Structure 1
Amino acid sequence: MIIKRNEHNPIVMPGGYEWRKAAVFNPGVIRVDGKFYMYERAAGSLRPFQTSIGLLESDDGVFFTAVKDVPIFKAEMLGYPGGSVEDARVVHMDGTYYMCYALQPYSFDCWPTGTGLPSYYPEHYSEWADNGVEPMITRSGIAVSKDGIHFTPHSYTTPAEIDDRDNALFPEKIGGRFALLRRPMQYVGEKYGTKSPGIWISYSDDLLEWKDPELVAVAENPEWEGTKIGAAATPVKTDRGWLVLYHGVDSQSIYRVGALMLDLEDPRKVIARTRLPIMGPEAYYERIGLVLPNVVFPTANLVVDDMLYIYYGCCDTSIGLATVSVKELVDHIFNQR
């Protein structure tokens, strides 16, 4: 199995507008009527490190241009003018666009260390303490749109009191219900059946009320995913199961990519899984960046003529594209058993 990085990588770089001049990363990407739409996460500075969602389009999935010269989705639309919206994962179902997003409600600064996780500084932004919120906590939600451009906040998918992100909505209902992958950081310990944050699933009839999450997958290989794992991109339906890319983080904060297969009718069941990562930081733009080194973080994948297009954030700085045969990847996952 060969995952091929695009020769034009990074295919999207920061710049052009003030609100995206520092970093662009972790995009959602969909393809509608032959056109690719990318929902990029963008930052204009590191102080504060405030991110919003911009929209790009492409005919070939490689060369993208801006649809709007302003962000299409901001934390201000949720009532948090100093906050950030992050890591859009978008699906298109029955004429409606559904955008999963993560929200950090108040401002913070980002100081890269060059050796691992950056240092974040929320302390001098009084909103965190004034509102009794744990600094840097992240809540997830869904916004909806009929045209893919003008989004309206619809509902939160996670409670306000826990840090829960990496939400990814399945692209179709399962058993008549919406299904959502999550990663609640506090669900760790004997009570939850995992020693580190893992991948969970919730169901809903209306996107408003969500059933208690159920554990799907936990970290199994401490060498590359020992710190935490989380759903990377929207699940892809194949004839052998739901294909889910996920990210694994090791003790050195290096982000790599694994893959698993979930049962089509009951995606709580993992039916196959890679033992080793299928992608890791190799190219210079995956090892060195403005914010966080050694990061390959896919947040979108889609199928074009049996090729899986994988869009991923590189070091929280730029966006890359890699491709692989869906059949070869699925065969590879099942051959791990």
Structure 2
Amino acid sequence: MHKRSDTSRQIEIILSQSTFLNRQALFLRPDPSRVVVRPFKPATEPRDLNPTDKTRANHIVDRVLALDLQTAESMLADILENFEGRHRNLLATFECRAEDMEDAFTPHTEFTKVQRQLVGAYFLHEYSFEASALFNPSIVAHPDQSGVSPGSRRFILSLRAVGEGHVSSLTFRTGLIKADGSVEIEPTARLASTPKIQTPRSVTGDEPVKLSFSAQQHISERVIFPITPAQSNGIEDARFVAFEDSGQTKFYATYTAYSGKAIRSELLETDDFISFRMTPLRGSAARNKGMGLFPRKVDAQYAMIGRQDNENLYLIYSDDLYTWDGGQLILSPKFPWEFVQMGNCGSPIELDEGWLLLTHGVGPVRKYAIGAALLDKSDPSKVLARSREPLVRPEPSEREGYVPNVVYTCGAMRHNDQIILPYAVCDTFSNFSTIKIVDLLLTLDG
């Protein structure tokens, strides 16, 4: 049998990729008009401040409480007129913030409800959480499929939102995959809200943090903003997966907590996208970014794909979900488009043929592209095939943005005979592609 040259095989792969990748016209762009209220903290006090001296917070409270009642009421009414339509339950938010300022209230024995609410307003500020970017999406089937027509599926999309100071938070969208494979995104809620933190305020971030939203809030209204010191500069790149165990479905997401100086992997878990639990991961394999959890146990253990050495991909097992040590090297940079480094692009997707693992590779001029590998279903350490050429690479129209020459995803989803692939463009906005599974597998080399 005549053996094709590597060059002819490469040309064939590139030509097939140009026909099977169906890019949708669903551009999810950052919207600076969407804001949440966040605590405002006065600048750090001088280190030589005498403990008996008043702080800046005390001074602000003193000035507010010195206002006569009529002026205070007028100011509060003006604030509500300007901001109430932009947030839910604003007066209650002011009062909650005033509770945080109890130390500043201490010298005062009497104050009115209006004064407390006005003080709360002085220690809050609006934050445009997606002013700069809306990117690195992942997708899972919605837990509620009621009313969806046969052959269609409702989904939840998570996205990394970036605002002032390059602080990352987690936001959501919902949409529908139709029976014909086309994708629709539901309109975004006008308002946005952060959750109620159920963990004590003394939380250090080394223990689980519980948080919840109101079930009446549309999911696109829910924003998970950094809570602990380890997350203070960002909750980055959540990789969601619908995890099946004993007939029950739970949603997990590995993400990167960034303090501004250090990173660590953490786990977000939820049953309903209303209540969440955030837990730091332990172990030598959890010290880097980009961990992707398998959607079910493998050989009675939890399994993860990780990149603890910044360059290669490892298969890691754990008995308790929260501790990840060691790992077996399964994929290293092999082709020119991934020579700099490899990483996973979300949780593996189970197919009849094996585990489909989307990967990213970094090539010359730090150009990011998306590829794939097929792992053995019973033994994922065995690589059956992988992408010689990328599945998705930056198009000429997709090269400009905050970080040029990047396409990236944090997770795709199977729907019937297709892979639904949301992906980010230049760390700025997001789009969708759909890929027929049979065509995708034909591009992989054994």
**Class of the TM-score when normalised by the shorter of the 2 chains:** 0.7 to 0.9
Q: Decide which structure has the larger Cα Rg and report it.
A: 2
1:319 paired residue number:
430
* Residue identity opposite 1:181 in structure 2: I
Q: Could you list the runs of 5+ residues in structure 1 that have no partner in the other structure?
A: 107-134, 187-196
Q: What is the aligned partner in structure 1 of residue 184 from structure 2?
A: 62
Shift of 1:15: 3.5
Matched residues, number: 288
Counterpart for residue 50 of structure 1: 167
- Confirm whether residue 184 of structure 1 aligns to residue 308 of structure 2: yes
Q: What is the deviation of 1:219?
A: 0.1
Q: Per-residue deviation at 1:149?
A: 3.2
The CA deviation string for residues 164-202 of structure 1, in whole angstroms up to 9 with x for no partner, is 11111111111111111111135xxxxxxxxxx111121
Residue 203 (1) aligns with residue 317 (2): yes
Cross-structure match for 2:234: 84
For the residues of structure 1 that align with 2:422 and 2:441, how far apart are their CA atoms?
18
Q: Mapping of 1:146-165 within 5 angstroms?
A: 146-157=271-282, 159=284, 164-165=288-289
Unaligned runs of 5+ in 2: 1-15, 35-127, 146-152, 178-182, 194-221
- Cα pair distance change 1:201/1:14, threshold 3 Å: farther
For 1:3, the equivalent position in structure 2 comes to: 21
CA contact (8 A) 2:373 2:387 kept: yes
Aligned to 2:257: 103
Distance in 2 (alpha carbons) for counterparts of 1:23 and 1:159: 31
How far apart are 1:50 and its partner, in Å?
A: 0.4
Secondary structure at the counterpart of residue 129 of structure 2: helix
Q: Does 1:169 align with 2:293?
A: yes
Displacement of 1:251 in angstroms is 3.1
Question: Deviation at 1:95?
Answer: 2.9
Q: Which residue identity lines up with residue 287 of structure 1 in the other structure?
A: R
Distance apart, 1:65 and its partner CA: 3.5
Q: 1:288 is matched with which residue?
A: 400
Q: Which amino acid aligns with 1:53?
A: L
Question: Which one has the bigger helix percentage?
Answer: 2
Q: Secondary structure at the match of 1:330?
A: helix
Residue in 1 that maps onto 2:408: 297
Aligned mates of 1:82, 1:154 — CA distance in 2:
15
Describe the superposition over 1:176-233 as per-residue Cα deviations: whole angstroms up to 9, x where unpaired.
11111111135xxxxxxxxxx1111211111122241211100001x21111000012
Q: What is the distance in 2 between the residues matched to 1:273 and 1:332?
A: 8
- Tell me which amino acid in the other structure corresponds to 1:212: G
Change in CA separation of 1:283 and 1:232 when aligned onto 2, cut-off 3 Å = same
Query: Structure 1 143/332 Cα, relative in aligned 2: closer, same or farther at 3 Å?
Result: same
CA displacement at 1:283 relative to structure 2: 4.5
Give me the TM-score of the superposition, normalised by structure 1.
0.80
How do residues 123-162 of structure 1 correspond to structure 2 at under 5 angstroms? 135=261, 137-157=262-282, 159=284
The 8 Å contact of residues 88 and 100 in structure 1, kept in 2 or not, is answered as yes
Counterpart of 1:69, as a letter, is: A
Percent identity of the aligned residues?
27
User: Which runs of structure 1 show a deviation greater than 6 angstroms over 4 or more consecutive aligned residues?
Assistant: none
Once the two structures are overlaid, the 10-residue window that deviates more, 305-314 or 148-157, is 148-157
What pairs up with 1:255-294 in 2 under 5 angstroms?
Answer: 255-284=368-397, 286-289=398-401, 291-294=402-405
Q: Report the CA distance shift for 1:16/1:217 in structure 2 as closer, same or farther (over 3 A).
A: same
- Please report how far the alpha carbon of residue 81 of structure 1 lies from its aligned counterpart in structure 2 after TM superposition: 6.0
Aligned residues of 1:142 and 1:157 also touching (Cα < 8 A): no
Q: CA deviation at 1:163?
A: 5.1
TM-score, normalised relative to structure 2: 0.61
Tell me the equivalent position of 2:331. Answer: 217
**How many Å apart are 1:80 and its aligned residue?**
3.9
Measure the CA separation in 1 of the matches of 2:371 and 2:140: 21
Q: What is the distance in 2 between the residues matched to 1:206 and 1:142?
A: 12
Question: Quick one: distance in 2 between partners of 1:302 and 1:83?
Answer: 29
Question: Aligned pair in 2 of structure 1 residues 35, 12: CA closer, same or farther (>3 Å)?
Answer: farther
State the match for 1:38 in structure 2.
157
Higher strand share: 1
